[in-house]
């Protein structure tokens, strides 16, 4: 099955891909992390597992808290970098905010910004949005955000 990765700022297209549709419930955050660990391990990207797991955990947690009923996690890699997308049908656009020192939340996108080489949001409001990230590229992507066709391998 071939599906578009609507915002992939990577070229050439990934060699390995994975996709998972999950309900927007707390247990899905751990399931999303497990997918990252399994696939990146399979792809020989052990050095990116921890950072990508934390990024995906933060993005999935945001969906559970603010998004729709389900979300899609997509991952792709060429063996050097990892590109990921989390799509949900919820309204609104996520944005970084400064959390008060005593706050127990509000730091998720600050963590994503620190760990990812590049990240962003595509789409907004009705119809949902995609939050994407790139890790392992070494610096923010100088490439334009363009659609790619990717082969999806699940399981």
Is residue 8 a part of any domain in this protein? Answer: no
Residue 131 is predicted with a pLDDT of: 92
Q: Please give the residue range of the domain that contains residue 58.
A: 16-91+99-150
Residue 91 is predicted with a pLDDT of: 79
Cα gap 31→40, rounded to integer Å:
14
Angle between helix axes 46-66 and 108-115 (nearest 10 degrees) is 160
Considering the entire predicted model, what is its pTM? 0.78
* Tens digits of pLDDT across the chain (155 residues): 233 455 555 566 678 999 999 999 999 999 999 999 999 999 999 999 999 999 999 999 999 988 789 999 999 999 999 999 999 988 777 766 666 666 555 567 888 999 999 999 887 667 788 999 999 987 554 443 433 333 333 33
Is residue 41 a part of any domain in this protein? Answer: yes
**Three-class SS of 84-139:** EEEEECCCCCCCCCCCCCCCCCCCHHHHHHHHCCEEEEECCCCCCEEEEEEECCCC
Question: Which helix (DSSP H) or strand (DSSP E) does residue 23 occupy?
Answer: strand 16-23
How far lies 30's CA from each of 2, 64, 65, 100, 128, in Å?
26, 12, 15, 27, 22
Is residue 123 a part of any domain in this protein? Answer: yes
Nearest Cα residue to 11 out of 134, 143, 111:
143
Residue 11 is predicted with a pLDDT of: 60
Is residue 138 a part of any domain in this protein? Answer: yes
Is residue 4 a part of any domain in this protein? Answer: no
Tell me the CATH number at 114. Answer: 3.30.565.10
Is residue 9 a part of any domain in this protein? Answer: no
């Amino acid at each position: 099955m071939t599906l578009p990765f609507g915002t992939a700022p990577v070229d050439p297209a990934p060699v390995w891909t994975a996709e998972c549709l999950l309900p927007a419930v707390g247990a899905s955050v751990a399931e999303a992390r497990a997918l990252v660990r399994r696939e990146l391990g399979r792809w020989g990207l052990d050095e990116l597992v921890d950072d990508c797991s934390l990024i995906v955990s933060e993005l999935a947690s945001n969906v559970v808290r603010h998004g729709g009923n389900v979300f899609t996690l997509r991952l792709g890699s060429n063996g050097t970098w990892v590109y990921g997308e989390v799509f949900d049908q919820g309204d609104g656009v996520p944005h970084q905010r400064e959390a008060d020192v005593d706050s127990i939340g509000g730091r998720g996108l600050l963590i994503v910004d620190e760990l990812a080489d590049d990240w962003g949001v595509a789409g907004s409001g009705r119809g949902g949005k995609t939050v994407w990230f790139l890790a392992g590229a070494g610096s923010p992507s100088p490439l334009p955000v363009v659609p790619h066709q990717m082969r999806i391998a699940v399981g």
